[in-house]
Structure formats: structure tokens, C-alpha cells
């Protein structure tokens, strides 16, 4: 038996803040997409302002880390730490998001 869904437990959401909302508000910066999956790759504005000159290297490192499984991966999301206390990356159905820990 499957556990109940979040909607079954809590009901329909009152409001949903989407990836597009965050892009429109300037919270996130889209830098591209994973071409084979058409999944957006985004950075928080906070992180991007610090790494804009070498963000491609950060993307490469983050995607390489996703090639290795982690016991905390779920069917919904995966998270990796690129640099302790500095850069995280999270992948889910919405996209791949690079951020500072304080942006989470």
C-alpha cells in the first residue's frame, strides 16, 4: 500500500510559486537547459552574481556528481553539495537549480 499523497493529507495548495514565477521575479537566472531532456538549468541570482565568470564549470561539476547515486536520492529530487557551505545543486521535475545554502 502506498502512503497518502501530500494533497490527500493537506488538501489542495492555496498558492503555488512556480519556476517561471521565480524567473519573472528575478530570484532565478536561466542559463540553459539539458538538451536531451529539455529541463531548465538555473542559478539563484545570489549565487550567479558570484560565479557568472565560471558558471559553466560549476554546471559540469554538478552534473558529474549526479552520475553517482546517493542513498538520500528520491524519485522526486536529488541534491548534491559542490562546495561545503557555498554551492548546492538540486535536480527535480522542475529543473536543475544551483544555489547557495542560504538560498534554499
* DSSP per residue, 17-37: --HHHHHHHTSEEEEEEETTT
Whether 35 is covered by a domain: the verdict is yes
Q: What integer pLDDT is reported at residue 25 of this predicted model?
A: 98
Q: What integer pLDDT is reported at residue 78 of this predicted model?
A: 94
Count of the separate structural domains present in the chain: 1
Regions of the chain with pLDDT less than 70? none
Q: What integer pLDDT is reported at residue 5 of this predicted model?
A: 84
- DSSP bridge partners of 95: 92
Whether 69 is covered by a domain: the verdict is yes
Domain containing 36: what range?
6-103
CB 62 within 8 A of CB 98: yes
Q: What integer pLDDT is reported at residue 35 of this predicted model?
A: 81
Whether 65 is covered by a domain: the verdict is yes
* 58 backbone dihedrals φ, ψ, rounded to 5°: -65, -40
Whether 1 is covered by a domain: the verdict is no
Whether 58 is covered by a domain: the verdict is yes
Q: In this structure, what C-alpha cell is assigned to residue 87?
A: 554551492
Q: What integer pLDDT is reported at residue 83 of this predicted model?
A: 93
Amino acid at each position: 500500500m502506498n502512503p497518502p499523497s501530500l494533497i490527500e493529507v493537506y488538501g489542495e495548495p492555496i498558492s503555488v510559486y512556480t519556476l517561471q514565477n521565480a524567473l519573472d521575479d528575478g530570484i532565478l537566472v536561466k542559463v540553459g537547459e539539458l538538451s536531451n531532456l529539455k529541463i531548465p538549468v538555473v542559478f539563484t541570482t545570489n549565487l550567479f552574481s558570484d560565479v557568472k565568470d565560471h558558471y559553466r564549470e560549476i554546471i559540469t561539476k554538478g552534473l558529474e556528481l549526479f552520475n553517482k547515486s546517493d542513498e538520500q536520492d528520491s524519485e522526486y529530487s536529488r541534491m548534491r553539495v559542490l562546495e561545503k557551505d557555498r554551492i548546492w545543486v538540486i535536480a527535480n521535475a522542475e529543473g536543475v537549480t544551483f544555489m547557495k545554502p542560504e538560498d534554499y
